[in-house]
Homo-oligomer: A and B are copies of this chain.
Amino acid sequence: MNDYQIEMNLSQSRKQKPAFDNLQFGRNFTDHMFIMDYTEGKGWHDPRIVPYQPITLDPSATIFHYGQTVFEGLKAYQTKDEQILLFRPNKNMERLNRSSARLCMPQIDEELALYGLKQLINVERDWVPNLEGTSLYIRPFIISTEAHLGVSPSLTYQFIIILCPVGAYYKEGINPVKIAVETEYVRAVRGGTGNAKTAGNYASSLKAQEVAGKSGYSQVLWLDGKENKYIEEVGSMNVFFKIDGEVITPELNGSILDGITRDSIILLLKHWNIPVKERKISIEEIYQASKEGKLEEAFGTGTAAVISPIGELFWKEKLLVNNGETGSLSKKLYETLTGIQNGSLVDPFGWRVLV
Contact = CB atoms under 8 A, between A and B. Distances in A.
Interface in A157-205: 160, 162, 164, 184-193, 198-205
Interface residues of A, number: 68
A354 to B, nearest CB: 25
A279 interface: no
Contacts of A205: 151
Contacts of A187: 192
A160 B258 CA distance: 36
A198 B57 CA distance: 19
Interface stretch (A41-49, A66-74, A79-87): A66-74
B65 A102 contact: no
A9 to B, nearest CB: 16
Interface centre among A141, A200, A210 (most CB of B within 10 A): A200
A192 to B, nearest CB: 5
Nearest to A211: B104
In the assembly, how many copies of this chain are there? Answer: 2
A44 B203 CA distance: 21
Interface stretch (A21-29, A238-246, A281-289, A292-300): A21-29
Nearest to A139: B149
Contact of A64 (B26, B55, B104, B148): B55
Interface string A339-350: 000000000000
A141 B61 CA distance: 12
A225 interface: yes
Given A102-B207, A184-B191, 13 more contacts: A26-B60, A26-B150, A54-B59, A64-B69, A69-B203, A102-B204, A151-B205, A151-B209, A151-B235, A187-B192, A189-B189, A189-B225, A192-B204
Interface of A: 25-27, 29, 33, 52-61, 63-69, 71, 102-104, 137, 139, 141, 143, 147-153, 160, 162, 164, 184-193, 198-207, 209-210, 225-228, 235-236
